[in-house]
Chains A and B, each alone.
Chain A
């Protein structure tokens, strides 16, 4: 894929003895909205910061729009937007001044869009940043990454402090940005329902590895909970392919499996003479089951 926004191969990152990322490879194509999920300390922030060259991988290669991410030239950086986990606002300025400061670094800042969003999101441009609440700071931080209409937008837990209404407004704006199918968004969040709405692809980071990456749809189709009912009083020993965990209870059992297919179901039903009911799982449950 030549027009990929990001291409990464075999990334590793260690801080001293601590291995944070191990052998992570991925690609981000135009139009992708990627939700990054992982427990605290799974390496989400490290991964996102490596993508923009803030820190170097210990091993492996990563390119953004075809350029090594540690050495991005200015015209590439102008196509990239970033919302850090902890905002980097200038406390002594007003919102309007902060916006002007950042806008001055770009040749194509969309003042109209930002003005409109300030109004819609209820950001008072005359307020001094020092006195703003965490949620307001987060909104401003997001606006600062929107103004130059980046083709690649990377957001590190952008909505943790936003109320549900503000979050929905933010999601709608991200959708508008991604609607033309040319822009890519990568965002990490613990709010799984947001990722379920917005993302078409999911990365699940577990212990520094990409435990799952792919379509959200295929994830939901692939990881399911089986309710198994045997014919006798006691369920026979079962060989379930791709099983993550099983709970047995007499003639019944529930099992969560990955890479589930209709064929697998058929063969299991025949070989063990059991009846299987398939329950699909929401993303939150999938995430929890993968970490059991």
Chain B
């Protein structure tokens, strides 16, 4: 019996050991739920998803640098702290890039976010472009893959446009940054000219390979490439700028809005302001002028939002009527709730002559309408209008009684006090192409042509026509403000003209006096970029 017992115990133990043995293959990771670049860029749908991601990133320009949080206008310094836009609030980024330039330092987190975001987009583009060269990419229909690469190269050029205008010389990254074993930490600043040559190549490729029109709203089309090429040639070769701009104006599928259309065609208004109404942005909605339209959608995954109204509309909730507050409440009709982080300088408002649609009360709100039946101050009635007394005054900080643009009006009927916009918005339009053409004509000494080009816009806006003798670079900058206030990346226009410091210190009464020449026209290189680089990475002058 003893042997039997021994046998049993051995058999027992051996069975257990065999039963619970296992293989070393267990250590190889095969996550079933994570997409890696190699697994995404295999099919057309995968490439499209990669492309959609880049579009979603581009949209963050107007949704905020904290993803999902409308508190930071990603491209604020491109717009505010200029001759025509000042920071009405002394908070946030505006404090250092608009109100008090001496506070602007390389440690600013917003500046770092802006830089990182642009290079993330570049890396996304590079990843897609790199994937197009793999077997999977080459196996796709040639037209599809060329179109996708064209979109990616256009976005890459778009990102370098922001980088070069904000920082000057920047590292030119064209390779995929996803191999952790071969990460670069020895970046150098590529001269702007060289970066622009690359942008030119990218945009030319995009122009050749993008269709002229596409059914999906907001998609990149050939016209976007042509427009940006025209702008780029202002720096590189103004003759070509003339050619490109004329090509787009004369042969492209776009035309200026010169008559009333769309959702409020029967209400009082102007053709110019119709373009900015919710429901009038896309080509399918009748907008013939828009070249590129930014898409948002409420209550939809992927719909995201933008913060433009929050940033530009006046603070109606701070308006007291004869010392009584609360007489104005947020409604869809009055454009919703604004913080007016950014407002027009006195100079910008005084640029408009009498009768110019672009300076009219359809374009600007220098009043509020009493709309709260609960609170009606003595001597007033519901529906009365309160006009602000702003004429002849300089812009100043935290002034709620100041004009604000109506271009970004929008309120969600379900949440009239909500912080975010969900309307589609014009991002690039032919009106600006006209101004690029005019600038190119001036640079090629065709003042006559420039005046004619500008007059097309002025006629549309019911402004007086000008003559060749009126045209100089300052006039063009003024005209850009009249036409494109808060739409254009104003800092870039000023820098291109070499006029940033001069015009900011003259016309911006809040921030201007704090600006330093040869320093503040560029942003500081984010400190992190310098700190982690193993070779010297020079800071911009003065920082």
Instruction: Judge: A and B partners, yes or no.
Output: no
Chain A interface residues toward B at CB < 8 A: none
